[in-house]
Structures are given as structure tokens and as C-alpha cells.
Structure 1
Amino acid sequence: MRRHLSATLTAIALLALAACGTESGSGSGGGGADGRNDSARTAEGAGLPLTGVRWTVDSVTADGRRSTAPPGAYIELTEKGRAQGSYGCNRFGAEAVLRGATLTVAPAELTTVACSDEIHGFEKTLSGVFTGRLTARLDGKRLTLTSPAGDTVALVDEGPAPLTGTTWTVTSLTTRDVSESLPAGTEGSAHLTFAKNGRIGGRLGCNTFRGTGKISGQEITVQDLVSTKRLCMGTGGQVEAHLLKVLDGTVTYRLEGRELALTGATGAGVHAVAAR
């Protein structure tokens, strides 16, 4: 398990990034005179409506090899000329200029969380493609960015996720001001869902669980929590023990886009992303 301070100088710099704009929508129309469908646009001479959208990274293709993105990887383009988001584990920010269908991204600043080897490999691939001059193509809610070498980043506008009815996959563990990446091999092992009828359930990292969760304002009161009785050892047991601390009594939540932060009364918490 790796640790980092959530208030590192780099992270503070990223939190100061300019807020996103509000431009949205892709528009549609019939085929043009050249037979091209206008719903898939490169919009020569006109800016694409890409800002103010949280673009979920679907995959990256580099040197002919396609890599599926881990949960939580996303990119936002602001109207103030910034690109920001998460490579999958580390957050980043960079200057970005959109002219017509050309997006030019400067070298990025990023946090330095130690991630699993698999996610680290994806982050290296994504950061290598999402830089320099890229050609943007928008097809409905899907966006493709292509480098001069032909490498691509595939993204989708999934919209914000509601608290209830969404499966939330745990991506990191927190204790007050310290955040830890999940232990190697436990990625995707813990998830939870808050149902509209007040029930909660999911997987703790080893055992499955269920209970009730009364939502009031920014708090969730968790009660009647029961789980299966499988003996959990090693890293799976560590994740489970931490999540049980979070779900003990009153839980404070913060929902932003497709990310959810939960903090228990003891200061133990988790970060989670909406499952795709």
C-alpha cells in the first residue's frame, strides 16, 4: 500500500486550477455535401463544444496497442485554457489551447501518488499521448483525440452520477489528511450501492454486505450492517477493515461529477468512482 499527503505542494497547485466553463452539447444535422455525417465532426474553422464537460477516458491506443482505462481516469477542458483531470491514479493539470479541431496540450504538472504497476503503465501511456498537437473528432457524446503519429485517446461524456442507484467502486483509502492507494491486487475489490429505498449493499473487499442508509443533507446514517463471514486475510482484509470503519454510524459524503468521497466519524474515509 502506498501513501501520499493529499495536501502536497503539487496537489495544492492543481486545486488552484481554473474552474470549468459551461459550454456543452454537440449538435447534429444531416449529411454534408461531401456525404459526411455532421454528427461526427472535426469542425474545420469552428471550435468544438468540448469545454465544461467531464470526459471519461475509455481507452488509449498507442503503437497499435489498446489499453482500457482504469476507473476514475478523466479529462476536463476549461474555457480558460486548461486541461485537468486524472490519469487514473494521479491528477494533472496543463495549459491547453483549442483552435477549431486542433487541441494543443503543454507538458503537464501532476501529483506523485505511487500506483500499482498496471495503473502506472496506463498513466504513462495516456500522458504520452495526451500531449502536444491533437486532432479532435466529436461523434455525439464520444470524443477521439488523435496524435500526429496516429495514437488515440477515446473519451465519452457520461454525465454526472447520482448518489443513489450507482455502483461506487472504491479507488483509494483515506485517513484524515492522508490518502493511500489500494494495496496491489485489490483494485476493484470493494464497491457499494445506495438504493433509493434506503438499502445499501456491496462488497467490502472480501465479504459482501448489506444494511440501511438514511440520507439527510450531506450525511448518511448507516445502520443494521451485516456481512458474510468469510475469513479475510492479507490485503483484502485490510481494505475490508478500513471500509467497516468508514461505514460505522454517521458518514459524511461529497459528490462531484462521477466521484464520491465518504468520511466516517473516526476520520477514516474512501474515494470511489461511478462504475461504468
Structure 2
Amino acid sequence: MTKKQPHLAGAAALAPLLVLALAACGTQSGNGSGAGDGSTSVRPDVPVTGVHWTVESVTVDGKKTAAPAGAHVRIDPKGQAKGNFGCNHFNARATVEGDTITLSDTGMTEIGCPEPLQGFEDALRSALTGKLKARLTDGELTLTTAGGDRIRLSEQPPAPLVGTKWTVNSLVSGQAATSLPAGTEGKASFVFGKDGSVRGTLGCNQFNAPVTTDGSTMTFGRVTTTRKLCAGPQMELERALLATMTGKVTYRIDHRSLTVTAPDKTGFAAGAQSSTENRTTTAPPTQ
């Protein structure tokens, strides 16, 4: 027995080294995934929870639909998920176990959403329920249902007021949000410039105006617009936006959502353009 003691001592000394080696292999990033394609289900540098995930597209029954601006999901480490389906806001119970995310008990606002927003929202709400397999690849998250439907999301940083393209996605009255006039979804957008201006489109006519910010308030100067004759819903949206862009208003940014409210508590909400999308930048109006 005494002759075997050195051998046992050597094995005991080797065991911690073997554990460390296995741990190093298990935490190595790059091409060490079981799939052999460089992706992992859980990656410490891009956690699933505590991240603002912008919805890029939803694929249901083989049909892929691009997401409208503002659609997003955020999963709280404490077990809550919240976000926007593309029109209505939602919250849900969420659990994360390995590469499986389970969403249940979903509640949502009740804005009446016109097409195509309603169609997208129905597809996303249906897919974003129950057990979902999660896969992370270079800051992109793919959630897959048991039936094979997929939601593609990308990690997005907070959006600054200046330099971001904001797309109007709802009107505001007090604490309630209402849908945009039918047919104007995604039409109104604008960018705040470093030169103290804001310019974009009101849904039909283009506009620009001087603007200053101070804390949570911004003050619009005289708004200049083009003079196109617009359809009824477009004019309705333009009037609502112009009514807000008058004098001093309050604004709030929640990660990638902007809300602008006039003193009478009416206003609009807008979502930041995804950094992975290439959308046409709106030209300033002709003077």
C-alpha cells in the first residue's frame, strides 16, 4: 500500500488541474459550441436578461415579416418580460433555464391597430408565448417555438435624442396611447440634428424647425413644411404632430422609445430605427 501512495497523491494533485482545464474549455467563446458554427445558447458577454432586444422579424408558417419600429422585448433578471408587439405594449412572466425561455401570463394594452400592424402583432404575440429555444450569435438572438416559428432580435444600445431616426408609432392623450390614422403607419419620422434643428416628414409633407432642449423639455421654433395636398388620414396625423410641435413641450426617452407631450397632455410616441436596418433617410423640405 505504501508503494501506491505516491501514485494516489499525484492523481489528487492532477484532479484540480483537470477540473480547471475542463472549465476553461466549457467557457471558451468562438467556435466551441456543440453546433460547430461559432454560436452558443448562452454567452456571458451577451446575456439574454437585462438586454433591450429589438425585434427584427417574425417568421410564422414559413412567412417572414419585418418588424415595425418600436417592437422590442426586455427580460428582467427577476422574472418579468416587457416590451412592444409593434403597436401594443405588453408584460409577461419569464423564466430562463439554459437555452430555454418560457413566457406566460401575458398582459397587454388594448390599442386598436390597423393593418399591417395588427397582422404583425398577432404573429409576434402568438410566437412569443410558451417555451422558446434561444440561440445567440454575434449580438443577435433567435427564439424558436416548438412548431418551428422564429423571432429574430438584435441587441440594441440606448438611443440618443440627437442623430437617431425616430418613427412615430402612436398618438398620446393623457396616459393612453392610440393608434395612428389608418394608412399612416411608418410614414412620419424625423431626426434631431446637432445644429439645433429637427427635420423629417409629418406623414405626407416634409418639415424642419429649430429646437432647443433643457432637461426634460424641448422648445420648437417656427415649423416650415412643404405644401403637398395630402389624403384625409395623412392630414389628420400631420395636424396632430404640428399641434404638439409648438412652443415648449416635455419629452422622455425610455431606451429606444421617445414620447413628446404638449402642455394639454396630448402628443406622440416614436421608436428608434434599428441599427441593423437600412432605411431611407428623409430629406429636408424645400424652402
What TM-score, normalized by structure 2, do the two folds share? 0.81
| Larger RCO, structures 1/2 (Cα 8 Å, 6+ apart) | 1
Q: Per-residue CA shift, 1:185-205, capped at 9, x if unaligned?
A: 011121121101101111112
Could you tell me how far apart the structure 2 residues matched to 1:151 and 1:188 are? 25
Q: 1:116 to 1:34 in 2, by over 3 A?
A: closer
In the alignment, structure 2 segments of 5+ residues that lack a partner are 1-26, 275-287
User: How many aligned residue pairs are there?
Assistant: 248
Partner of 1:14: none
Partner of 2:149: 151
Structure 1 residue 248 displacement after superposition: 0.6
Q: Per-residue CA shift, 1:57-113, capped at 9, x if unaligned?
A: 111111111111111111111111122111111111211111111111214112211
Which is greater in Rg? Answer: 2
Q: 1:97 to 1:225 in 2, by over 3 A?
A: same
Partner of 1:42: 41
Which letter maps to 1:125? A
Could you tell me how far apart the structure 1 residues matched to 2:33 and 2:49 are? 28
- In structure 2, which of residues 62, 67, 70 is the aligned counterpart of residue 72 of structure 1? 70
Conserved? CA contact 2:46–2:139, under 8 Å: no
Could you tell me how far apart the structure 2 residues matched to 1:218 and 1:33 are? 46
Helix, strand or coil at the partner of 1:104? strand
Structure 1 residue 32 displacement after superposition: 2.2
Identify the structure with the greater helix proportion: 2
Partner of 2:230: 232
Conserved? CA contact 2:111–2:177, under 8 Å: no
Q: 1:145 to 1:166 in 2, by over 3 A?
A: same
Q: 1:204 to 1:33 in 2, by over 3 A?
A: closer
Partner of 2:5: none
Partner of 1:62: 60
Structure 1 residue 266 displacement after superposition: 3.6
Which letter maps to 2:30? G
Conserved? CA contact 1:106–1:131, under 8 Å: yes
In the alignment, structure 1 segments of 5+ residues that lack a partner are 1-26
Structure 1 residue 176 displacement after superposition: 2.7
Within-5 A mapping of 1:63-212: 63-212=61-210
Conserved? CA contact 1:82–1:96, under 8 Å: yes
Which letter maps to 1:30? G
Structure 1 residue 145 displacement after superposition: 0.7
Deviating 4+ runs (over 6 angstroms): none
Partner of 1:267: 265
Helix, strand or coil at the partner of 1:83? strand
What TM-score, normalized by structure 1, do the two folds share? 0.84
Q: 1:67 to 1:219 in 2, by over 3 A?
A: same
Partner of 2:23: none
Could you tell me how far apart the structure 1 residues matched to 2:82 and 2:172 are? 22
* 1:32 aligned onto 2:38: no
Which letter maps to 1:198? G
Which letter maps to 2:76? T
Conserved? CA contact 1:59–1:68, under 8 Å: yes
